Structure 1
């Protein structure tokens, strides 16, 4: 069953461009992951520095493998240096 993962992050305003570049890199890496369908990045217009990533996966297991992968965790570590709040994940089924 396909899943959509909503990933919410708050970034320090001066780090927005760096965060967007990391998203592009991470998305490129995710393309090589089994079950990855695609993603889009949305910037909230009424709250400075808030981003929503809508990531789609063929199955929850595919997302789960990516979530704990060494590669994704390395990206998360880099992202954490740019953000001022914990990343939040919400998973929905289709």
Structure 2
């Protein structure tokens, strides 16, 4: 069964005091993570959007062939290390919700 994974991240506004020096590293990590995901068995697609009413909130939608494929990727130690660094830079964990089709 195809699933969709909704991931939300909050990237602090630059005016809130976020260190501008972390932005290049954050961007590098996000691009690397997307590239790694695209090479995983079961990965179909991904897209990133921002909330038009709250520009600091981003939504990433990943589409996977199965829950098993997603879980394998979610439990990948390299992915987890990169995600931990992203969350550390942002100061908050990424939230995940998994949805299936009926």
TM-score with structure 2 setting the length: 0.81
- The whole-number CA distance in structure 2 between the counterparts of 1:32 and 1:90 is 21
Query: Who is 1:57 aligned against?
Result: 64
How far is the alpha carbon of 1:50 from its aligned partner?
Answer: 0.8
- The whole-number CA distance in structure 1 between the counterparts of 2:79 and 2:23 is 19
Query: Who is 1:7 aligned against?
Result: 7
> Number of paired residues?
94
Task: Say which of 28, 33, 46 aligns to 1:26.
Answer: 33
Matched, 1:81 2:73: no
Contiguous gaps of at least 5 residues in structure 2: 15-21
Structure 1 runs of 4+ with >4 Å offset: 15-18
> Residues 32, 57 of structure 1: CA spacing in aligned structure 2 closer, same or farther, 3 A cutoff?
same
- The whole-number CA distance in structure 2 between the counterparts of 1:86 and 1:77 is 8
> Residues 13, 82 of structure 1: CA spacing in aligned structure 2 closer, same or farther, 3 A cutoff?
farther
Contiguous gaps of at least 5 residues in structure 1: none
How far is the alpha carbon of 1:20 from its aligned partner?
Answer: 3.9
TM-score with structure 1 setting the length: 0.87
Which structure: larger Rg? 2
